[in-house]
Structures are given as structure tokens and as C-alpha cells.
Amino acid sequence: MYLKSLELSGFKSFAKKTELNFSTPITSIVGPNGSGKSNIAEAFRFVLGEQSIKSMRGKRTEDLIWNGGGDAARANRASVKVVFDNHKRILNVDFDEVSVERVIYRDSSSEYFINGTQVRLKDVIELLAAAHIGSSGHHIISQGEADKILNANGRERRDMLEDALGLKIYQYKREESERKLEKTEENMEKVESLRREIAPHLKFLKKQVEKIEKTIELKEELRKLAKEYFKREDTFIKHNKNAIVEEKKKPEDDLKRLHEELIRAKETLEKSASRDGKSNEIIKLENDLSVLRSEKDTFVRELGRIEGSIGSEERIIRREEENALREGNQNVPLKEVQATATIIEEKIKELENRRDDGSVMAFFTFVRKTFSEFISRHKQSGPVSVRAQSEEEILKLKQERLTLEGKLKDCNEREVVLRKNLFTLQERIEKEKDSSREAERDMFRIMTEENNVRSLLASIKSKEERSMLFEENFKRDLHEVALLLGREMLDFAVFAIISEQGVTLNLQEITLEDRTKQEDRRRLVEKMKIRIEDAGAGGGEEVLKEYRETSERDVFLEKELSDLHLSADSLRSLIKELEEKLDNEFREGVSTINIQFGQFFTLMFGGGFAKLEIIREVKRRKSDTDIEILTEDGSTGDSFEESPVEEGIEIEVGLPRKKIKGLMMLSGGERALTSIALLFAISQVNPPPFVILDETDAALDEANSKKYGDMIESLSKLSQLILITHNRETMSRAGVLYGVTMGSGGVSKLLSIAFDEAVAVAK
């Protein structure tokens, strides 16, 4: 025996705990109409997972719970528990006895238990499906459903046969796979949507990163070039300064010596007894020249400072002009923007009270024209404020330079006059060859030598000023590059310059290089600095980080999408495989059922034939469109859409001695016999552990009842039978007879008789 017991508590008319034990192959349940015996068949449906309240003769969940009556109070819950003998492991659980219980409450909630452990409905269905047990189908035929399989359409008959053949497990797997596939496709759509969403941002970030990477490459290139430039420039400047110091050393010593000699000569001349007016004139001319030279040196130094400042401002203007040539770098004065805004506001006020569409379009045209003119006017304008300030400063410096040049010119003219007077005096003294003029001649010699030394020092001073200008430019360039590339650029001194032959150059080889090459390097460094400044380095790390994170997310989504595609393909293959397996086993099962069906039908009717035939149906439904279709006869017809092809089961029967070949022409009794023959044929092919028949023999006469009883005994060798019946012939075949009675309170009660024990007692 597979089915051991059924326990009901609060289910429908079974208010109190009631237990039925099934210890014989055939168990009959009898009782008067309305006693509640059919509730037992519905209890089986209930505990095995039936979700349709209507199929259990109810409208809502509360209809399945004892509602009170007589001495029995209203119940808040209903429970049904069925116990299986699992020694042969018909259920895929490693227990010798398996109990399945379902409990419902008045709030419509349900609980399921397997061996006392709460589980999901899905777990119950899968456990029972493996043993060909379900909440409905061929093995539970309730009252009035004996010919259900005959009344069903082709698709429904196929479902019943699949259930009877034990193919439900494939259907569950297929449906679960289809749900997973649908969920997978939804996830694929979500992932694709996310990728489409981040794609524009990723594309933008990629362009920014490419720009940043080019800037980084440019910085690396500038870093290498700038280090070589600064190393060469620093070496040249230091070498030049040392050379100038060495070059200045002797003239300065000579000038110092001559200055001392001149002082001694002046003192000698002043103390000379032969001193006259010419001597005084010489001393005065020398003093005037000394003062004039000091004044001239001051003017020259100031001119040098002004020239340097002018060069610096001109350099700023050139840089700003180069920036201005690049699209989008133009600066616009605020007053220009305010003026344009004022024009547009005045136009708005002018059109404020006019509501026609023409005015609106005219306003849009006006705004577009105004902005177009504004952009065109300022498109080629440079950075006005900076350039204007620099030009104003240059103008001021040039004015100062012009004033100093005038003063310097005056000094030169005065110096020429003084030197001319000194030369004239020298000629007059030279004509006098007496010894009294020896002191004057010494002064003239000293002054001539001093003048030559000063000229040499002036030349050296010019070199020194150029060297200082180089150094100032060097320091400024170094500062700018350090701000752009970092403080590491200040360590350029450790950079080694390698020749094309791979040899490290020494200081002498560096200083001997043509200066034009170094100037080319300086211009290239300047251009690269401008390009890097134009590219902009702000937020580079944040952009790179965001691009990296967004790229990683896109790669992750791409991988996830690939995995989802693989999963979807795998699920489609599994669904196809399950469908093929389901179809093949179904066709084989139908062929086997046909053999048994024909035999049982012949036995029941004493001849004739009966068979199942697989048919293909194409369902047509009316289209949602309003398009009319022209038929062949010229009339218009409705538009239909064809649904996918479905396979169903058609039943063909032929009665002996009658020309009846259709189910519609059978009488009630003939239909009952046909359905019983088919149900028994199905049970013979793939016997379920138990079969419940609720008054399926009600329409049979005495002769057919005997045949029915014989078939029941034959079927009981394969499946355990629970029969709800009024038929005495059927009752006589049972081993245990349960009688259901109902008292005045509406509570169903059980009485039982074991025929084997009764016979023994009678004997």
C-alpha cells in the first residue's frame, strides 16, 4: 500500500479531527446524499496543492473551513494531512514514511508541510509530480467529472494525458525554464538599457581621457625637453657669468690703479709751484667728466631696466594673442554683455503686449541675429583687459625710455664738448715742451687710459646685462614650467645630456653649442607650455578615475550581458530538449494507451472500437485592427490573426451494431462507460500510486456494474483505489468500507467496517 492515511480537521463538514486509514487495495466510502463523503475526495485535491476553490465546490477560502453548527464551534483553520508509505521510495525523500499537510486560515493564507517542516507549494508539487501524483487529473475523479475527459477540448485532454503519463515533471521544468528565460531576457534588457544609458557619458569621458592622455604625453615630452633646455641654459649662464667676471677683473684693477694715479697726479698738480690756469682747467674738466660719467651710467642702467620691462610686456602680449587665436578663448568685456542683454530686454518689453505667433517668431529671429552679431564681433577679439594693460604699460615705459634717451643724448653731447675742450687743452700743453708741464701730461695720459678702460668695461657691462636678461628669462621660464609640471623640474641639474652617439656631454661641450639651437628649444618649450595650458589639466585625476570606474562598470555589464546570453541560450536549448522529450514520450504513451483503451472499450461494449488521435489545431482570433479584409466573393470580412499551432487529443469511438462514430451522439450511460474505459486504460499504462473515484459508477446498470467491478479488481493490482459509491456491486469489491453520516449539527462522522474481519466474525 502506498497511501496509509488521511487526516481531516476543520475541513468543510469534518469539524473534528477525523482519520481514514487505507490498509486494503480497495477502500469504499459510502453514505447518503449530502453526508459529506465527496468532501473526502476534495480533501485529497486540497492537500495535494489544488489552488482552484471552485473545483472544490467553494467560492472563497473560508468556504473550505468549518463554519460552525450544533455543538461544534466555528473553526479558524482547516488542515488536511495525507501519509504515504515510502519504503519503495516512490517519493524522492529519504524517509520510509512521508506526510504532506496543508493548513489554511480565514485570512486566505496557506501553509504547507512535509514531514512537519514548512515548505513552499512548489516543493510539494515537485515532490508529488515525480511520483505521478497531482492535485487534479486522471487519478482523482470527483462527482460529476467521470466524463470530464470526454467533455474537455483537445488541449485539455492532452494536459490530462501528460499528467497521467507522468510528464508533468517535464512541464514544470519547462515552465520554470520559460520563467527563468523570461526573467533572463528582462535582465538582458535592463543591462542593455544600462549600457545604452552610460554609453554617451563613457564616450564623452573617453574623449576627455584621450585629451588628458595627450596632455600627459605632451607633459612628458616637455619634461624631457625642458630639463635639457634648463640644464644647457643654466650651464651657459653660469659659464658666461664666470667668463664676464674673469674679463672684468683686469679692467677693474686697471681702472682702480688709474683712478689712484689720477688722484696722486691731481694732488701733485695742485701742490705744484708752477700751477697755473691750465692746471685748474684740467682738474675742473676731469671732475666734470667724472660727474658726467656717473650720471650717464645711471641713465644706461635705467634704460636697461626699461628695455627688460618692455620685452617682458611684449612677451605677455604675444602669448595672449596666440591664445586668442584659438577658438573659444576670447574674453568679452562685461559692458558688452550687459549692452546685448539690454537690447534683448527692450525687445521683450516691446513685444510684451502682443500675443500673436508672428511676434514670437520675430522675437526668436531677432534674438538669433543679435547673438550672431555679438559672436561675430568678438570672435577675433583677444583678451582685451590683459593686452590693454600691457599695451598701456609699454606705452608708459617707452615714454620713460624716450625721456632717458634724451637725457643720455644730452650727456653724450656734453661729454663730447668736455672731451673736445680737454683735447684742445692737451694740444696747447703739448706745444709747451718744458718740464713744468710734466704733471699735466701725466694727467692726460691717465685720463686717456681711463677712458679706454671705461669703454672696455662698458662693453663688458653690456654683456653682463645680456647675461642678466638671459638669467631672468631662465628663472621665469623655470618658474612657469615648475608650476605646470611640478617642483621636480627644479632638480634639472642632475639631468644628464646624452649626445646622438650615446655619450654624456660635459660642461665645455654644452657651452660650445650654437645658441640658435638653444633658442629653437626655448621657442619649442614655449609652444608646448601654451598647448598644455590650452588643454587644461584641472580635474584630470577625477576624470581618469571616473572613466576608469565607468569603464569597469561597462566591462562588468558587458560580461554580465554575455553571461545572460549564454544562460538564455542554455535555457532555450533546455526548453527545446524538454519539449522534444515531452513530445516523444507523449506520443509513445498515447500509442500504449490506445491499445488498452481499445481492449477496455471492447470489454465494456462487447465490440466496437475506440482510439485517441493527436491533432494539430491553429487557433484564430479577431485582430485588434480595424482593417477589413475583402473575401473571394467581394464582401468584406473581419481580420483574423493566427495563433501558434497547438496539439490536442481527439477521441474516436465506434459502437457495435450502431452507426455512431462521434462522442456527441453517445447516450449518458455510453459516455460514462467510454470515460471509465479510457480512465482505466490510462491507469493501466502508467499506474499512479492511488486512484480516487467519486461516484463514477452512478450511471451504470447492474450488468455493467459487474464489468465495472471486475475492472476495478484488475486495476487494484496496480494502484490503490478509494471509491466513493452507492453501487452495491462496487461496495462488494472493497476490503474496508467507510460509512459517512451527518447529524443534526451538520458534522460529518465516520463508521468503518473491515469485510475480512466481518467475514471471520460471521464464521
Q: Which three cell numbers stand for residue 596?
A: 488498452
The model's confidence at residue 642, banded by pLDDT at 50, 70 and 90, is: low
| CATH number belonging to the domain at 1-133+729-763, selected among 3.90.1150.140, 3.90.1490.10, 3.90.180.10, 3.40.50.300 | 3.40.50.300
| All residues at 6 or more sequence positions from 667 whose CB lies less than 8 Å from its CB, including other chains | none
Grid coordinates representing 396 are: 608708459
Question: Distances from the Cα of 545 to the Cαs of 212, 220, 548, 557, 560, in angstroms?
Answer: 12, 20, 5, 18, 22
Query: 78 and 62 in contact (C-beta within 8 Å)?
Result: no
Pairing label, strands 748-754, 736-742: antiparallel
Q: pLDDT: is 138 or 497 the higher one?
A: 497
Averaged pLDDT, 426-439? 56
Report in angstroms the alpha-carbon separations of 599 from 146, 370, 426, 593, 667.
Answer: 19, 98, 162, 10, 20
Helix axes of 515-535 and 277-325: crossing angle, nearest 10 degrees: 40
- For the chain, the structural domain boundaries read 1-133+729-763, 195-331+381-535
Q: How many CA atoms lie less than 13 Å away from 171 in the CB half-sphere? A: 17
How much is the pLDDT for 319?
67
Q: Is the pTM of this model over 0.85?
A: no
Average pLDDT over residues 55-71: 85
- Phi, psi for 97 (deg, rounded to 5): -135, 130
Encode pLDDT of 528-539 as tens digits.
887 777 776 555
Give the range with max mean pLDDT: 118-127, 152-161, 702-711.
Answer: 118-127
Identify residue 442 by its one-letter amino acid code.
D
Report the pLDDT value the prediction gives residue 547, as an integer from 0 to 100.
Answer: 87
Confidence of residue 643 (pLDDT cuts 50, 70, 90): low
- DSSP-derived 3-state class of residue 700: coil
pLDDT tens, position by position, 344-376: 777 777 766 666 656 667 777 777 777 777 776
Q: Which residues contact 31 (CB under 8 A, 6 or more apart)?
A: 37, 739, 740, 741, 742
The Cα 353–Cα 216 span in angstroms is: 57
Q: Is the pLDDT of residue 699 over 80?
A: no
| Range of weakest confidence among 250-254, 263-267, 706-710, 716-720 | 263-267
Query: Any idea which of 387-391, 399-403, 715-719 has the lowest mean pLDDT?
Result: 387-391
Residues whose CB falls within 8 Å of the CB of residue 283, separated by 6 or more in sequence, listed in order: 266, 269, 270
* CA trace torsion 50, 55, 57, 59 (10° rounding): 80
Mean per-residue pLDDT, 233-258: 81
> For residue 479, what are the CA distances in angstroms to 310, 485, 487?
20, 10, 9
Burial zone of 319 (CB within 10 Å; 0-12 exposed, 13-18 middle, 19+ buried): middle
Looking at residue 365, its pLDDT comes to 76
Q: Is 752 helix (H, G, I), strand (E, B) or coil?
A: strand
pLDDT confidence tier of residue 563, bands split at 50, 70 and 90: very high
Residue 636 has pLDDT above 80, yes or no: no
Helix 668-685 and helix 702-716, axial crossing angle in degrees, nearest 10: 10
In this prediction, residue 403 carries a pLDDT of 80
CA pair distance 666, 439, nearest whole angstrom: 166
Tell me the pLDDT tens digit for each residue of 281-330. Answer: 666 766 777 777 777 777 777 777 777 777 777 777 766 666 665 545 55
pLDDT tier, 630 (very low <50, low <70, confident <90, very high otherwise) = very low
**594 vs 279, residue with greater confidence:** 594
Residues 6+ apart with CB under 8 A from 641: 620, 621, 622, 623
Cα–Cα distance between 590 and 614 in angstroms, integer? 8
pLDDT at 471 over 60: yes
- pLDDT category at 434 given cuts 50, 70, 90 is very low
SS percent in the chain: helix, strand, coil, step 5: 65, 15, 20
Mean pLDDT of 240-260: 80
Residue 547 C-alpha cell reads as: 572613466
419-431 pLDDT, tens digit each: 777 667 666 665 5
- What does the pLDDT average to over 702-711? 84
Mean pLDDT within 642-671: 76
